[in-house]
Amino acid sequence: MLLATFSWHEFFFMLFAILACGFAVGVLLSTNIVRMAFYLVISLGSTAGLFYLAGAEFVGAMQLMIYVGGTLVLLIFGVMLTAQQRFISLKSYGRDWVLGLAVGGSLLLLLLNAAFGVADWYTPRPKTSLAVDQSKTATPLGLALAGVRADKLETRHQDEEKDKRLKGGMSGYLLPFVIVSVHLLVVLIGAAYMARTKRVAPKAEPASEGKPD
């Protein structure tokens, strides 16, 4: 029976993938900036769903918090402050499409090349039972931040040489993390500086013209 071998994992993977891709296309095709933001929310939310499906709970929650929650609240906030008649609908011209296609297409090519360039990523693995239950992604991530790379401690390959290469360069993520944070802080301060209300020098008020009370 077909239904008996029905796999929920594949079903949800396809569902989330279609949602993510479909609404990403929606972002491209929509001209209303707030609808674009809304489609982006759904697209990013589905990506978070994919992370959960893969057992990466921490990354999934991170996706929801950082991308869906933080960035898009700011985005909508900004949109509403700037949504005046001129920007309310964004039309793309032909040249924008050409530029966009060139940049996006080359990025896609790069990613495809990377995805199919690493043998580990496309060779089919025997299906082990889904490790969702015992996934503790938060712990290794926290350790990696402090400098203990759990992924480098394990012995993945049987090959001595390969394992040695894998374990080389044990370093934490704290320094890059701090550098990125400081960078973001600078960007935020800069954005706040540029977006602040321009104060008009107070004009000398004409003297009261003696209105009747």
Partner 1 sequence: MADTINTFIGLSASHWLGYVLTALIHCALLLHVVAVGALVFIWMERKIAGRIQDRLGPTRVGGRFGWLQTLADGLKLITKEDLIPAEADRMLFKLAPYVAFMASFCAYLALPFADGWVGQHVNTAVFFVLAVLGLEVFGVILAGYASGSKWSLFGAIREAAQVVSYEVPLGLCVVVPVFICGTMNLVTIANKQAGLFTNWMVFHDPFTFTIFWVYFTCATASVNRAPFDLAEAESELVAGFHTEYSGLRWSFFFMAEYGSMFLVSGLATILFFGGWHGPFPIFGAEMLGWAYAPGASEWALSGYLANLAGCLNFVLKAVVGVTVMIWVRWTFPRLRIDQVITTCLKYCVPIAAICFLGALAWEALDIPSPNDLDLMTSQPKSTVRENWVIPARKLSSENKTTSHQPAPTTAASQQDPAANTAMATGPQDGPRSGRPGGDL
Decide whether 29 or 201 has the Cβ nearer to partner 1: 29
Give least dist CB 159 to partner 1, A: 10
Q: Write down the least CB distance from residue 200 to partner 1, Å.
A: 21
Nearest approach, Cβ of residue 55 and partner 1 (Å) = 7
CB of 140 to partner 1, least distance (A): 5
97 vs 177, which CB is nearer to partner 1? 177
**Neighbouring C-alpha atoms within 13 Å toward the C-beta of 75:** 16
CB of 81 to partner 1, least distance (A): 8
Q: Between residues 90 and 98, which has the closer beta carbon with respect to partner 1?
A: 90
Nearer to partner 1, 77 or 97 (CB): 77
Shorter beta-carbon distance to partner 1: residue 105 or 190: 190
What does the binding site for partner 1 look like in residue numbers (CB under 8 A)? Answer: 3-9, 32, 34-35, 38, 41, 45, 54-58, 60-62, 64-65, 68-70, 72-74, 76-77, 80-81, 83, 120-121, 125-131, 133-141, 144, 150-151, 153-158
